[in-house]
Structure 1
Amino acid sequence: MTITTRGIGLLAGAVLLLVAGFWFGYSELALLGTAAVIALACALGYALWRPRLRVTRVAEPDRVGRGEPATMTLTVRNTGRVRSTNLIAEDRCGRLAIPVPLLRLRPGHDTTVSYPVPTTRRGVVPIGPLRVTGRDALGLMTLAHSHGGTATVLVHPRIHTLTAVPAGVARSLDGRIDRVPHGSITFDSLREYVVGDELRRVHWRTSARVGELMVREHVDTSLPRIVVLLDNRAAAHPQVVDGTAETFESACEAAASVVAAARREDLPAELLLVAEHGTEGDYLDRLAAVELQAGSRGTRQDPLRIATDRLRQERIGDTLVFLTGPGGREDLGYLGALHGAYPSVVVAVFGASGQSPGGAAGMVMIDAADGTEFAAEWDGVQRW
């Protein structure tokens, strides 16, 4: 609750009038002071009154590509039964404050406001809650309340069409891509039985232990597997303007493009972050939420060193795509040590002032200014 300048003046005047009235025996002054106190008490009661509002919001869509339109529809309903509301309200949309008219909103009625969600920047746009400010008729006091929940709109990075996809070292006997839904070469995991599964794939011992049918899941190890490693260290993208590192935005676009191209060809692809920060979900949702992380560079706690050590030990693919910024050129030695575990290593450096060492340690090097240039350079690679 906030008392306005007018309210402070009235409070000071009330004190002076009451003191003067009772001290000097002027009943008229005491009466005026009492009236001022009553006005302040009424203003306080009005400000403390909390309207009964039901707020619903719908984002259409709640996931959108960078630069694509998205709309938030906000509906506010007066669920009270006594009086109409005459309030000042605003909804938070990222860094913007959207005014919401609640003048003379009668009981049982609602008002709807639609406004565009800013999607010019990749990220998670928080929306809400609705902030309602009550003010008395004399403008003596104000009190703000929050109504309704919050929502988020995920702004995904742009996806550039890539026509070339690494085929890997080991090729399937049925061609570059095996279209069979379930391979039969290597056991991968167990899952619950669904109608249509072959009974010969039921793992009876596990089924007896857990009390429900469990089916073997197999994978075709001849399929090429692409691993995309996105460098989200702040040291790798030092050029930040208005809170945004354009080289990192370009790297996010490249990561989305590579994974989307692999998914389009039904190839296994996995997105990894150098500095993990607990985000889960689809790769586009993860790319929308990822942010630059600080880390100890050049030490045992360097996130890139930890990530490359884990990749070398696990060997989760045969094609590694590393996406970094100008600050990551000095750390390419970590990637050279992965050449034995990953026969095909592609390194893309965004925003570098000079050319990176081409083909260092058997790696394919791509220097690009942004995502569009990366797509052109990627499709122009002659070997993987």
Structure 2
Amino acid sequence: MTAALLWLALITAVTGGLWWLARRPPHVTVTREVPGSGFEGGGLPLTVTVIVRSRRPLRVTLSDPTPRGVVPGHELTAAALHLGQTTQTFTTTLRLNRRGHFEWPGLDLAWADPLGLFWQQATLPATTAVTVYPGTHGLLLPDLLRPLLSEGTLSRQLGLDDPLSLRSAREYVTGDTPGRIHWRLSARRGELVVREPERTAASSLTVFVDASAGGGTFVDSAARLAASLLREGQTLGLPVAAAAAGQV
């Protein structure tokens, strides 16, 4: 009887010790590195660094789910027996499947004693978010920008013709307007020659979207076209903005 009581006391003491070890969570620091925005159908690099600190031996599992609409290349999970300080780094690519503003739900943390008898869990709040813009398609943007603003600097590829400048002259080809013919040079050469003026580039690009008419398909197409214009404008180094319902 005495031996049984001793064993019972020992088991109770061990169990109580394990429960005491697992009663407090470890100190966890999470850092997510991801660009703040992207375009639907594209991808963004994501790096998640998790630092776990604890003076007690703990069995720890981590899971960092992404918000709906963005899908990682692989699951961001880890499990290990932890003591002291350890660092876990996840690197993956996010697939942007749907446009919108998405916020991370937070890191799922679970911890227990070394034997895994007493499990507890918590969710660490996150402040990470990503904005996914509508998908884009290729555009011949220099031709589309010619009716737009023309108070910028001279450019050979973008903007309106500057009638006061002359970059070069070339032979006339079908489709050239009569106003571009250089008559004096044509008389000297004995053949039609047209002017090749410099162009005055646009200094900014603002896209106005009117979604008051049409159905869902119209709005979706308008959003894709606006996003395509803005993306190409950014590529050309123009300040860009979008406006809808009177707000920019």
Query: TM bucket by the smaller chain?
Result: 0.5 to 0.7
Q: Report the aligned-residue RMSD.
A: 4.6
Contact 1:91 1:100 in 2 (8 A): yes
Contact 1:128 1:149 in 2 (8 A): yes
* Cα drift, residue 103 of structure 1: 0.4
Matched, 1:57 2:32: yes
- Count of residues in correspondence between the two structures: 194
Contact 1:102 1:111 in 2 (8 A): no
Tell me how far apart the structure 2 counterparts of residues 62 and 157 of structure 1 sit (CA, whole Å): 15
Matched, 1:256 2:227: yes
The correspondence for 2:66, drawn from 93, 115, 119, is 93
Contact 1:259 1:269 in 2 (8 A): yes
Matched, 1:76 2:76: no
1:231 is aligned to: 211
Distance 1:77 1:141, change over 3 A: same
Matched, 1:66 2:40: yes
Matched, 1:271 2:247: no
Tell me how far apart the structure 2 counterparts of residues 118 and 177 of structure 1 sit (CA, whole Å): 38
**Identical-residue share of aligned pairs (%):** 19
Q: SS at the partner of 1:178?
A: coil
Tell me how far apart the structure 2 counterparts of residues 117 and 52 of structure 1 sit (CA, whole Å): 27
Greater relative CO, 1 or 2 (CA 8 Å, sep 6+): 2
Q: 1:115-154 alignment to 2 at 5 Å?
A: 115-127=92-104, 129-136=106-113, 141-147=118-124, 149-154=126-131
Q: SS at the partner of 1:251?
A: helix
Matched, 1:48 2:19: no
Contact 1:158 1:256 in 2 (8 A): yes
* Cα drift, residue 266 of structure 1: 8.7
Contact 2:40 2:133 in 1 (8 A): yes
Name structure 2 gaps, 5 residues minimum: 155-202
Contact 1:54 1:147 in 2 (8 A): no
Tell me how far apart the structure 1 counterparts of residues 231 and 121 of structure 2 sit (CA, whole Å): 45
Distance 1:248 1:86, change over 3 A: farther
Contact 1:162 1:257 in 2 (8 A): no
Contact 2:21 2:58 in 1 (8 A): no
Name structure 1 gaps, 5 residues minimum: 1-25, 182-222, 238-245, 275-306, 317-384
Q: SS at the partner of 2:98?
A: coil
Q: For residue 60 of structure 2, what is the amino acid of its counterpart?
A: L
Tell me how far apart the structure 2 counterparts of residues 72 and 267 of structure 1 sit (CA, whole Å): 27
Tell me how far apart the structure 2 counterparts of residues 99 and 158 of structure 1 sit (CA, whole Å): 26
Greater strand share, structure number: 2
1:159 is aligned to: 136
Tell me how far apart the structure 2 counterparts of residues 130 and 152 of structure 1 sit (CA, whole Å): 14
Contact 1:77 1:109 in 2 (8 A): yes
Tell me how far apart the structure 1 counterparts of residues 116 and 77 of structure 2 sit (CA, whole Å): 20
Contact 1:46 1:136 in 2 (8 A): yes
Q: TM-score, normalised by structure 1?
A: 0.39
* Cα drift, residue 50 of structure 1: 1.0
2:199 is aligned to: none
Tell me how far apart the structure 2 counterparts of residues 224 and 107 of structure 1 sit (CA, whole Å): 54
Tell me how far apart the structure 2 counterparts of residues 272 and 94 of structure 1 sit (CA, whole Å): 27
Q: For residue 101 of structure 1, what is the amino acid of its counterpart?
A: A
Contact 1:72 1:117 in 2 (8 A): yes
Q: For residue 179 of structure 1, what is the amino acid of its counterpart?
A: G
Tell me how far apart the structure 2 counterparts of residues 55 and 162 of structure 1 sit (CA, whole Å): 43
